[in-house]
Amino acid sequence: MSARVDVRKTYKLYIGGKFPRSESGRSYEVYAAPTGAAARRGSSSRPPTFLANAAQGSRKDARDAVVAARKAQPGWAAATAYNRGQVLYRVAEVMESRRAQLVQDVRNSEGVGAAQAEATVSAAIDRWVWYAGWSDKFTQVLGGLNPVAGPFFDISAPEATGVVAVLAPQASSLLGLVSVVAPVIVSGNTAVVLTSEERPLPAITLAECLATSDVPGGVVNIITGRTAEVTPWLASHRDVNAIDLTGAAGADGVDWGGLELAAADNLKRVRRPGGTGTEAVEPDFTATPDLSRLTAFLETKTVWHPKGR
Amino acid sequence: MSPFEYAPAPESRAVVDIASSYGLFIGGEFVEATGGTPFKTVNPATEEVLAEVSEATDDDVDTAVRAARTAYTRVWSRMSGADRGKYLFRIARILQERAREFAVLETLDNGKPIKEARDVDLPLAAAHFFYHAGWADKLDHASLGPDPRPLGVVGQVIPWNFPLLMLSWKIAPALACGNTVVLKPAETTPLTALLFADVCRQADLPPGVVNIVTGAGATGQAIVDHPGIDKLAFTGSTAVGKMIARSIAGTRKKATLELGGKAANIIFDDAPIDQAVEGIVNGIFFNQGHVCCAGSRILVQENIAEELDHRLKRRLATLRVGDPMDKNTDVGAINSRKQLERIEEMVAVGEAEGAERWDSGCDLPTNGFWFRPTVFSGVSQTHRIAQEEIFGPVVSVLTFRTPAEAVAKANNTPYGLSAGIWTEKGSRILWMADQLRAGVVWANTFNKFDPSSPFGGYKESGYGREGGRHGLEAYVTTGGRG
Amino acid sequence: MAPSERARDLLGVSRLTNSALSSWLHGLPGVDQVGCEERAASLATRSIKTTSKAWAIDTAISMIDLTTLEGADTPGRVRGLATKALVPDPSDPSTPRPAAICVYGDMVAVAKETLGSADIKVAAVATAFPSGRASLPVKLADTKDAVAAGADEIDMVIDRGAFLAGDYLTVFRQIADVKAVCGDARLKVILETGELVTYDNVRRASWLSMLAGGDFIKTSTGKVSPAATLPVTLVMLEAVRDWRDTTGDMVGVKPAGGIRTSKDAIRFLVTVNEVAGEEWLDNHWFRFGASSLLNDLLLQRQRLRTGAYSGADYIADDSPSLY
């Protein structure tokens, strides 16, 4: 009996809740990361294993994604915090149900063994749940009544910055991805995410989780492709309010300083990559996060009103 | 002539002693600049030269940053928060005690009415130090994250509209959090910052904790570019804010930018109308309109536009424009010839665009820089005067029909610093406040400030907050991870 | 035009009902307390010097309704007050005289007799002053009595109970009826703002009183605290200003009670000047209901004249009350 010829998957972009191919019609080959001894040696005598053709997103795909994100943003921010929390929790449920595929994606993408991939997926799901729980808490934690010297009710509360471009980490293809996307959207921002260039498959599976949960289309938009090609268009886009440069670390041909320079044109809020000096280092995403990824994409609004009879 | 024409009530300038020339305040003492071209600061109400001020060169800025670094590593970052706080309390008290002197000097150098310097700038400046003094030993409890630590040396560049007050907004939180400071006041209003050096001396503040260097754009750029600077705090124009953001791109310098605005002051037909008129006046004619959060666009519900126009113009006719040292002056001098020219240019643009110009027709002094309170009606969103910051006593009146339209027009700007809402309907206020993309929303009031209340913008009005617990975030680093 | 006819006209109704009055009064713009008090405080920071101060002091003296409203008032006390009005400062004959003396109705004749033909009005409080808690016939009889005794001005109180109960029509009718029996006497309508409490109420009561035909609106009886505060007076000045915009007619304003110093008085004049306008800077349109205020104004007047601070011993008075 001959082996069954399997049905291979076509990997597409995720924009506005749909899965389009790149408008450019381009795709690029994605290979499995070397494993075990090969990975330790840093080289392999065997040729790399072909995994898939991923859509190679273009500046126009990025533009379309920003349009979708902008369109979705007011509604997402206006949803009740409880609702956003539930929607995000639902994503974790769906991730759990697709755990097997996520594990396989992580193994393929990161070249880790089964046990570590399992641990990574668990951490990613738990991370997502952690951030989901913040939806109706960060406002109280970060906001409050200001005791001004006068007959005024004066209150400050954080709210979403708007549309955030996110350079997902290059190495940590699932846990890192979740760790940068969840804090952006939980507060009501919408995101245009550029995935790890060489390890895009977990992001595509995450997109499928998002699409089959209750996240409104356009809240998260995911673009696979060449980081150096697409990021300048996001950094200079005047309808993008903020940019997370975390994924500049280890990205081929990406100068994060140049991206920050372009971002200054409309005074985007910039989350710089980890590291010191000009060097960009990908953080250790297994560590417990603090609130800084949430607060980086929040604006504090202060409202005054007189107190009188 | 009115039977009740108030006789002049001038404040005495004898309380201030202005030197003929000033050096730079570095490492706890005044030093000569190492070159640079000294410049004159004038009284904008009379064009009288008040003093000659040094221009700090790149070398001077370097010396100041080194002095600040030494003070940071050897003294200030090692001192307990409680002791830092006590220095700030001292400064607050000295500012209160010398309030009259500072107010008079501010008015002479800036052109703002003595009434405002006395009743707004000085009390708030002292309050900022008093407020932040109390934070110095409580940072662990400020929800800033684990283990809040100072950043190091902070470069601060401040504008000419509220010289001493902006200095306080900058220096008080920086010092409270354990940083040291190199501050540059605006070139047209350096004198109160230089007098503040004397406050530091009276308070026995350790040398180098506060350094004040004077100069114009080049000096500011030298601070921005200096590799020894860990953080920048800037208040000023959006154009310069963007330059700073570009200058520090790719570095690890942090920045807070408090920039321009084009605030909508939205008047509904059920507004408390007399207070709304006062709010408009306070919103745009306070400090000659030299206020980044000024309510420079009035959005009035169309069904009361005519009535509001009548009430507003009647009120503006009572504004007293003239000698800033007169305690009865409501609107003082424009800060500089350059700014006056900018205002005149924008007003000409407004007329050319077809908006209807009205001014109060009041007499103006012959010397100095002056501009009458001016109202443009029939303004549309597409007019430049509705889009660009004028930074003067000029207000544009636009109309709207529904709350949604008011929100759309208010938000239709790259700026997002402040907004005003006037309506007696509580639920509408809260809905509007939610919708407006602005860092400060004043409902049934305007231009209120307090050290405990965070201030700062959305979008191109900048980032970071000043004041309150939130303002501390810009001056500490925490164990930030992942 | 009779008040009720004009009221129907202004309200655009064929019959004046309480509900029509309610809708109209509640349709007036609200007053934000904090903003209103801020505005008053900012007007109070005006610094009035030299010639302006001299003018303001003399104008303030000329606007005083020199008042005694005590159960213990006697003919002798009222004669003393009237004499004081005739010669406020024996040391300086150029001192202006107050506008009026203000007494209970039964003292009108005594006051008239003392004042003779001098151009000083006699005002009588009426309508069951200060509480106003009496039937309409009693209030009308009280008023007629004072008018018959020669009162030039009647200071009536509104029925605050009716006002606070929302019975605006009763308040309106009482004012209109009292006005009808005033003859040539000008009618001042006391709102007793200390009992109305909110500025919204003060604004509504002001408009209601003007609508009903009051010639003046007056803050207080002097028997309830707070009495004439600057922000309350500001709201009332806004009302008369806007009333003139609406009807073309001027109505006077009288803060009464609690104004004791020249500094206070000048703040009120500044507010009149900047809010209602200079037409109101005349004792036909603005009055102070006060007693000790006159002596403080005289002290300041002496200070301006002599250059030295003066004292109570230099202020002639039957019952010196300076502080």
Q: Mind giving me the DSSP string for C100-151?
A: EEEEEGGGHHHHHHHHTTSS-EEEEE-SSTTT--S-HHHHHHHHHHHHHTT-
Question: Which pLDDT belongs to residue B326?
Answer: 97
In angstroms, the CA A199 to CA A195 distance is 8
Distances (CA, A) of A259 to A25, A94, A155, A167, C227: 26, 34, 35, 11, 66
Q: CA–CA separation, B217 vs A216, rounded Å?
A: 48
A229 and chain B in contact, CB less than 8 A: no
Q: Provide mean pLDDT across the span B414-418.
A: 97
Residues 102-161 of A with CB under 8 A from B: 141-142, 144, 146-150, 152, 154, 156, 161
Nearest to B4 among C30, C50, C55 (CB): C55
The domain of C60 spans 3-306
Could you tell me which residues are beta bridge partners of residue B30? B25
CA distance A1 to chain B (A): 51
- Say if residue B293 is in the same domain as residue B416: yes
Chain C closest-CA separation from residue B6 CA (Å): 5
Say if residue B234's pLDDT is above 90: yes
Pairing verdict, β B297-301 and A242-244: unpaired
| ipTM of the prediction | 0.97
Which amino acid is it at B39? F
Euclidean distance between CA atoms A54 and A12, whole angstroms: 6
Distance from CA of A167 to the nearest CA of B (A): 14
Judge whether C314 lies within some domain.
no
Task: Tell me which residue has tokens 């539930």.
Answer: A86
Among chain B residues, the shortest Cα distance to C50 is held by B7
What are the residue ranges spanned by the domains of chain A?
27-306
Report the SS3 class of residue B51. Answer: strand
**pLDDT recorded at residue C89:** 96
10-residue block means of pLDDT along chain C (323 residues)? 91 97 98 98 95 96 97 96 96 97 98 97 98 97 98 98 98 98 98 98 98 98 96 98 97 97 98 97 98 95 94 86 57
Chain A residues lying within 8 Å of B438, measured CB to CB: 301
The number of beta carbons lying within 10 Å of the beta carbon of residue B173 is 30
In a domain, C312, yes or no: no
* Residues whose CB is less than 8 angstroms from the CB of residue C313 and which lie 6 or more positions away in sequence, other chains included: none
Q: How does DSSP assign chain A, residue by residue?
A: -PPP---PPPB--BBTTB-PPPTT--EEEEEPPP-HHHHHHT--SSPPPEEEEEE---HHHHHHHHHHHHHHHHHHHHS-HHHHHHHHHHHHHHHHHTHHHHHHHHHHHH---HHHHHHHHHHHHHHHHHHHHTTTTHHHHH-EE---SSSEEEEEEEEE-SEEEEE--SS-TTHHHHHHHHHHHTTT-EEEEEPPSS--HHHHHHHHHHHTTTPPTTSEEEE-S-HHHHHHHHHH-TT--EEE-GGGTT-TT--HHHHHHHHGGGT-EEEPPBSSTT--B---TTSPP-SHHHHTTEEEEEEEEE---
Between A149, A257, A304, which is nearest B250 by CB? A257
Nearest residue of chain B to residue C236 (CA atoms): B274
Predicted confidence (pLDDT) per residue in B127-150, tens digit: 999 999 999 999 999 999 889 999
Comparing CA positions, the residue from A282, A168, A265 lying closest to residue A221 is A168
Residue B169 has pLDDT above 90, yes or no: yes
Cβ-contact B377, B358 below 8 angstroms: yes
The CA distance from B194 to B208, in Å, is 14
Tokens of A9: 């998957």
pLDDT tops 60 at residue B355:
yes
CA distance A150 to chain B (A): 9
Pick the closest to residue C264 from C44, C27, C71 (CA basis).
Answer: C44
Candidates B11, B55, B101, B258; catalytic one? B258
In CATH, what number is assigned to the domain containing residue C80? 3.20.20.70
Q: Residue B326's Cα: distance from chain center in Å?
A: 22
Q: C44-59, pLDDT tens digit by residue? A: 999 999 999 999 999 9
What digits encode the pLDDT tens for the residues A150-176?
Answer: 999 999 999 999 999 999 999 999 999
A147 to chain C, any CB pair closer than 8 A? The answer is no
The verdict on a CB contact (< 8 Å) between A283 and B481 is yes
**pLDDT tens track for C223-247:** 999 999 999 999 999 999 999 999 9
Assess whether B309 and B443 both reside in one domain: yes
Question: How much is the pLDDT for C279?
Answer: 97
In angstroms, the CA C279 to CA B161 distance is 38
Spatial neighbors of B433 by CB under 8 A, at least 6 apart, are A301, A303, B421, B441, B443
In this structure, the answer to whether residues B191 and B221 fall within a common structural domain is yes
Q: Is B458–A269 a contact, with Cβ atoms under 8 angstroms apart?
A: no
**In the predicted model, what is the mean pLDDT of chain A?**
95
The alpha carbon of C293 is separated from its chain's Cα centroid by a whole number of angstroms, namely: 14
Chain B residues with CB within 8 Å of chain C CB:
2-9, 115, 119, 270-275, 278-279, 318, 327-328, 424, 444-445
- Cβ separation of C46 and B328 shorter than 8 Å? yes
Number of CB atoms found within 10 A of residue B208's CB:
25
B296 φ, ψ to 5°?
A: -85, -10
Q: Which residues of C touch A150 (CB under 8 A)?
A: 34
Q: Mark whether B191 and B307 lie in a shared domain.
A: no
The pLDDT value recorded for residue B482 is 37
Q: Which residues of C are catalytic?
A: 155, 218, 254
Mean pLDDT score, B388-408: 97
Among B2, B9, B278, select the one facing C35 at the smallest CB separation.
B278
Q: What is the pLDDT of residue B118?
A: 98
CATH number of the domain bearing residue B198: 3.40.605.10
Give the Cα separation of B57 and B70 in Å (integer): 20
Domain check: are B92 and B176 in the same one? yes
Judging contacts by C-beta atoms under 8 Å, the chain C residues touching residue A305 are none
**A284 in B contact zone (CB under 8 Å):** yes
In a domain, B147, yes or no: yes
The answer to the question of residue B3 being in a domain is no
Distance from CA of C25 to the nearest CA of A (A): 18
Residue B364, by phi and psi: left (phi above 0), alpha (psi -120 to 50) or beta?
beta
Domain check: are B60 and B189 in the same one? yes
Q: What is the CATH number of the domain that holds B338?
A: 3.40.309.10
Joined together, the tokens standing for residue B282 give 């306070």
A27-306: CATH number: 3.40.605.10
Q: B469: which chain A residues are within 8 Å (Cβ-Cβ)? A: 144
What pLDDT score was predicted for residue B243? Answer: 98
Provide the domain count of chain C: 1
Give the whole-number percent of chain B exceeding pLDDT 90.
Answer: 98
Q: A151 CB near a chain C CB, below 8 Å?
A: yes
| pLDDT at residue A34 in the model | 85
C197 → chain A, closest CA residue: A309
Of B6, B270, B445, which has the smallest distance from its Cβ to C52's Cβ?
A: B6
Which pLDDT tens digit goes with each residue over B47-71? 999 999 999 999 999 999 999 999 9
**Residue B324: which of B287, B289, B291, B282 has the closest Cα?**
B287
- Judge whether B52 counts as a catalytic residue: no
Give the domain range for residue B441: 264-450
A188: Cβ contacts below 8 Å, ≥ 6 apart:
A73, A76, A77, A78, A79, A84, A159, A160
Does C197 reach chain A within 8 Å, measured CB to CB? yes
Sign of the torsion formed by the C-alpha atoms of B234, B238, B240 and B246: positive
C-beta atoms of B450 and A263 within 8 A: no
Query: In the prediction, which pLDDT does A125 show?
Result: 98
Residue B415 and residue B348 share a domain: yes
With a CB cutoff of 8 Å and minimum separation 6, the contacts of B422 are B265, B266, B267, B268, B271, B272, B275, B276, B279, B443, B444
CB contact under 8 A, A306 and C198: no
Asked, for residue C131, whether it belongs to a domain, the answer is yes
Chain B: give the shortest CA distance to residue C202, in Å. Answer: 14
Evaluate if residue B269 carries a pLDDT over 70.
yes
pLDDT of residue C322: 56
Strand residue runs (E) in B202-253: 210-212, 231-235
C27 has a chain B CB within 8 A of its CB: no
User: Under a CB-based contact definition with an 8 Å cutoff, are residues A168 and A201 in contact?
Assistant: no
Q: Are residues B48 and B140 in the same domain?
A: yes
Whether residue B450 and residue A149 make contact (CB cut-off 8 A), yes or no, is: yes
Residue A85 pLDDT exceeds 60:
yes
Both structure tokens of A119: 């641990």
Q: Are residues B81 and B209 in the same domain?
A: yes
Q: Residue B279: its chain C contacts at CB < 8 A?
A: 35
* Residues of B whose CB is below 8 A from A276: 252
B231 and B303 share one domain = no
CA distance B344 to chain C (A): 29
Q: Which residues of A touch C34 (CB under 8 A)?
A: 150-152, 306-308
Enumerate the residues of chain B whose CB falls inside 8 A of the CB of residue C53. 7
* Cis peptide bond N-terminal to A216, omega within 30: no
Most A CBs within 10 Å: which of B254, B278, B413, B470, as the mutation test of the A interface?
Answer: B470
Minimal C-alpha gap between B361 and chain A (Å)? 33
Question: Does residue C250 lie in a domain region?
Answer: yes
Measured between beta carbons, the chain C residues lying within 8 angstroms of B327 are: 45-47
Contact A152 C197 (CB under 8 A): no
Q: How many domains does chain B have?
A: 2
pLDDT of the residue at C125? 98
Residue of C28, C34, C52 best to disrupt the B interface, most CBs of B under 10 A: C52
Q: What is the pLDDT of residue B1?
A: 46
Task: Find the DSSP H helices in chain C.
Answer: 3-11, 18-26, 33-43, 50-62, 75-86, 108-115, 136-148, 160-164, 168-181, 193-196, 199-211, 230-247, 262-271, 292-306
Tens of pLDDT along B304-352?
999 999 999 999 999 999 999 999 999 999 999 999 999 999 999 999 9
Q: Is the Cβ of C32 closer than 8 Å to some Cβ of chain B?
A: yes
Catalytic residue among B292, B293, B389, B460: B292
Taking the C-alpha atoms of residue B368 and residue B334, their distance in angstroms, rounded to an integer, is 8
Residue C209 identity: S
CB pair distance less than 8 Å for A309 and C34? no
Contact across the interface for A307 and C35, Cβ inside 8 Å? no
Instruction: Kindly report the average pLDDT of chain B as a whole number.
Output: 97
pTM, to two decimals: 0.96
Strands B297-301 and B394-400: parallel
pLDDT of residue B3 exceeding 90, the answer is no
